[in-house]
Amino acid sequence: MGQSGKTIILCCTMDTKSCEALYLKEQVEAFGHEVRIIDMGMKKPSPPGVFITQAQVAGLYYEQIVSSNIRSEAAAYMIKGLKSIVRQLYADGQLDGIMAIGGSGGTTMASAAMHELPLGVPKIVVTTMASGNTLPYVQGEDVLLLNPVVDIQNLNFLTEYILRQAAAVMNGMICCRPLERGKKKAIAITCFGVTTPCVDRCAGLLQEEGYEVLIFHARGSSGGKIMEKMIAEGHFCAVLDVTTTELADEVAGGIYSVGPRRLREAPAHGIPYIVVPGALEMINLGSEDTLQPAQKARTLYYHSPSSVKMRANGAEMKELGEIFIQRLQHSRPGMTKVIIPARGFSSVDMPGKVFSDPDANQIFINEVKYKMPSNVPVMIQDSHVNDRAFADVLVRELLRMMPKTQY
């Protein structure tokens, strides 16, 4: 291994793709790195030369895996073991980058383990899944999928070329300057098209104050979910959560729900956190042909051919208020604040627009205003979310909270 060589973990099913894995190993090691193979296979015992065998990955579940006739059940056990091993290797300084080759099963297992690693650790999967729906594998994170065009079932002129490419890409990524926060302190902001005027104004003001601003499109895995992970990894000194529409999807079955982690990381880590019900009245659905009859009977907004929005009703707005309280109530005093624009939550939630429903919004406002614990102040502003004055208030209040932190 060369002086600048790194340790690359290669995950693969050695019972079906050993020749291809060994070829990729050879190509990566030609750049001076060390490649260690983790066997995810479930059909045959691991061959010699494997760094971590399938039995080690399976651990206590080995007998259940080899005897199971249900592939998904066996894979779930393997994923648990693989996640644990990958986390430990990284913690021990034995993982600088990670690669995998596989079909749908191998890609599912390997990508699940990759999500255990921080942003910035090079992650590559060579898979035909790259040419289809990649959301189950990428999940909004920095996982690179390379499409081999043909299945990785043997070595031929095309698969060898793709594997050489993958090795070269990994070498380039591993030799790149690592991800690191710059001298400027960073602030995260969530955005949607219907809250963009507010976000643009806030971002400009914060940049004038010397902060670096990262804007997350609040569309699920590549929005709120990855932002929460980056908060947990310590990338931000504060968060301005202008657009919380993903919670509406959690309540009413929309497509951008990210689950119970949403709203939790900033309070857990004690950084300044301002939360706004931006686009909270908006439940994000798919194209019109995917709507259920009950959804078609609701108030709808056709944002684009592939995106129909549904107006949250009073009961749903009440439940959203309850979620705000449940997830923010344990915040450290002075570190979290809810600021509500009483005149509307999005560009289609204002007088004359399709989602205008002041009564439904008021149900949310009353729930939060009167039930939120005193450690989380609630400010009601007589303005619309996209009013310039509202953005000014958000930035002013966030800056007031900043000196109370370690940043």
Question: Do residue 152 and residue 193 come from a single domain?
Answer: no
Mean of pLDDT values over 248-267: 95
Question: Do residue 297 and residue 149 come from a single domain?
Answer: no
Question: Do residue 168 and residue 268 come from a single domain?
Answer: no
Degrees to nearest 5, angle at CA 103 with 101 and 106: 65
- The counts of H helices and E strands in the chain are 15, 14
Question: Do residue 280 and residue 168 come from a single domain?
Answer: no
Mean of pLDDT values over 178-188: 85
Which one, of 22, 279, 11, lies nearest residue 143 by Cα?
Answer: 11
Question: Do residue 194 and residue 168 come from a single domain?
Answer: no
Distance between CA 88 and CA 188 in Å, rounded?
A: 29
Reported as a pLDDT band with limits 50, 70 and 90, residue 85 is: very high
User: Which tens digit of pLDDT belongs to each residue from 210-225?
Assistant: 999 999 999 998 899 9
Residue 380 has what pLDDT?
Answer: 98
Residue 214 has what pLDDT?
Answer: 97
- The per-residue DSSP string of 81-146 comes to HHHHHHHHHHHTT--SEEEEE-SHHHHHHHHHHHTTSPTTS-EEEE-GGGGS--HHHHTTSSPEEE
Distance between CA 274 and CA 242 in Å, rounded?
A: 8
Amino acid at 184: K
Question: Do residue 234 and residue 269 come from a single domain?
Answer: yes
Question: Do residue 306 and residue 208 come from a single domain?
Answer: yes
3-class secondary-structure state, position 46: coil
pTM of the shown model: 0.85
Within-domain flag for 1? no
pLDDT at 62 over 50: yes
Which one, of 358, 322, 360, 365, lies nearest residue 343 by Cα?
Answer: 358
**Average pLDDT for the chain:** 93
Reported as a pLDDT band with limits 50, 70 and 90, residue 180 is: confident
Residue 1 has what pLDDT?
Answer: 42
Within the chain, what is the greatest distance between any pair of CA atoms?
71
353's tokens: 């627009």
Mean of pLDDT values over 55-59: 90
- The per-residue DSSP string of 135-146 comes to HHHHTTSSPEEE
Range in 65-74, 106-115, 128-137, 245-254 the model is least confident about:
65-74
Within-domain flag for 2? no
Mean of pLDDT values over 241-247: 98
Which one, of 397, 8, 360, lies nearest residue 170 by Cα?
Answer: 8
| Residues pairing with 186 in the sheet | 212
Amino acid at 73: E
Residues with Cβ < 8 Å from 217, sequence gap 6 or more? Answer: 191, 192, 223
CA dist 171 to 51, 87, 160, 166, 299, Å?
A: 20, 22, 17, 9, 52
Residue 161 has what pLDDT?
Answer: 96
Range in 104-108, 272-276, 334-338 the model is least confident about:
104-108
Within-domain flag for 12? yes
Reported as a pLDDT band with limits 50, 70 and 90, residue 390 is: very high
Distance between CA 21 and CA 49 in Å, rounded?
A: 12
Q: Containing H/E element for 304?
A: strand 300-304
pLDDT at 208 over 60: yes
Q: Which residue, of 125, 154, 175, is where some domain finishes? A: 175
Residue 173 has what pLDDT?
Answer: 96
Q: Token pair 């400010």 is at which residue?
A: 379
The CATH number assigned to the domain holding 44 equals 3.40.50.12020
Within-domain flag for 251? yes
Within-domain flag for 226? yes
Within-domain flag for 315? yes
Question: Do residue 228 and residue 166 come from a single domain?
Answer: no
Q: pLDDT over 90 for what percent of the chain?
A: 82
Residue 3 has what pLDDT?
Answer: 42
Within-domain flag for 180? no
Q: How many domains does the chain contain in total?
A: 2
Residue numbers of the domain that contains 203: 186-404
Question: Do residue 167 and residue 207 come from a single domain?
Answer: no
pLDDT at 402 over 50: yes
Q: Which residue, of 119, 153, 175, is where some domain finishes? A: 175
The CATH number assigned to the domain holding 306 equals 3.40.50.12030
| Contact by Cβ (8 Å): 121, 95 | yes
Question: Do residue 365 and residue 322 come from a single domain?
Answer: yes
3-class secondary-structure state, position 41: coil
The burial of 322, by beta-carbon neighbours within 10 Å (0-12 exposed, 13-18 middle, 19 or more buried), is given as: middle
Mean of pLDDT values over 122-151: 93
Distance between CA 43 and CA 40 in Å, rounded?
A: 10
Distance between CA 169 and CA 161 in Å, rounded?
A: 12
Question: Do residue 115 and residue 204 come from a single domain?
Answer: no
| Contact by Cβ (8 Å): 244, 283 | no
Residue 136 has what pLDDT?
Answer: 87
Mean of pLDDT values over 289-316: 93
Which one, of 97, 150, 153, lies nearest residue 124 by Cα?
Answer: 97
pLDDT at 60 over 90: no
Residue 192 has what pLDDT?
Answer: 95
Residue 14 has what pLDDT?
Answer: 94
368's tokens: 């939060």
Instruction: Give alpha helix (H) positions in 125-244.
Output: 135-138, 157-175, 196-208, 224-232
Q: pLDDT over 70 for what percent of the chain?
A: 98
Strand-by-strand arrangement of the 307-311 sheet: 282-284, 307-311, 300-304
Reported as a pLDDT band with limits 50, 70 and 90, residue 406 is: very low
Residue 405 has what pLDDT?
Answer: 47
Residue 407 has what pLDDT?
Answer: 42
Q: For the chain, what's the residue count?
A: 407
Within-domain flag for 67? yes
Question: Do residue 315 and residue 278 come from a single domain?
Answer: yes
Q: Which residue, of 175, 200, 218, is where some domain finishes? A: 175
